[in-house]
């Protein structure tokens, strides 16, 4: 079955860059829609960005100036970078396939 697994540092300092990777098994990231969603206690669930099958990415306008997503089809992975982080970026980050497959999430805390 399709599985997604998020990995990356759990602690990031303010003003630095948050970097996460999603490793996919059981499906190819060359097809379908893949993306990142985060969850905070205050703001709830928020889409960060998603890839369309062509490989291009669309970003949430609220984060667009700070976010970049990339993918490595040879490793069947895709990644998220969010720069200039603040405490408000502290969240549980999920990688997702379309609507129906979610990773378990990885908690990222922004703190010095």
Residues that bind other proteins (CB under 8 A): 44-47, 50, 58, 60-62, 94, 99-100, 102-105
Q: Which residue's CB is nearer to other proteins, number 10 or number 112?
A: 10
C-alpha distances in angstroms, 62 versus 8, 57, 58, 74?
A: 23, 15, 12, 31
To 5 degrees, how large is the angle CA 96–CA 100–CA 104? 50
Please, which residue, 71 or 97, has the CB nearer to other proteins? 97
**Two tokens, residue 4:** 């997604």
* Closest separation in Å from C-beta 41 to other proteins: 11
Shorter beta-carbon distance to other proteins: residue 42 or 74: 42
Rank residues 3 and 73 by Cβ distance to other proteins and give the closer one.
3
Question: For 71, phi and psi rounded to 5 degrees?
Answer: -140, 150
Query: Residue 55 corresponds to which tokens in the numbers above?
Result: 């490989």
Beta-sheet strand order (sheet of 67-72)? 3-7, 18-25, 77-82, 67-72
């Amino acid at each position: 079955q399709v599985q997604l697994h998020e990995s990356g540092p759990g602690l990031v300092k303010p003003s630095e860059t948050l970097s996460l990777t999603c490793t996919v098994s059981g499906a190819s990231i060359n097809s379908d829609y893949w993306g990142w969603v985060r969850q905070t206690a205050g703001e709830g669930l928020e889409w960060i960005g998603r890839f369309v099958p062509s490989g291009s990415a669309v970003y949430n306008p609220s984060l667009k100036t700070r976010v970049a997503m990339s993918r490595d089809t040879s490793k069947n992975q895709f990644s998220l970078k969010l720069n200039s982080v603040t405490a408000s970026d502290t969240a549980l980050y999920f990688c997702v396939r379309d609507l129906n497959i979610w990773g378990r999430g990885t908690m990222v805390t922004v703190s010095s």
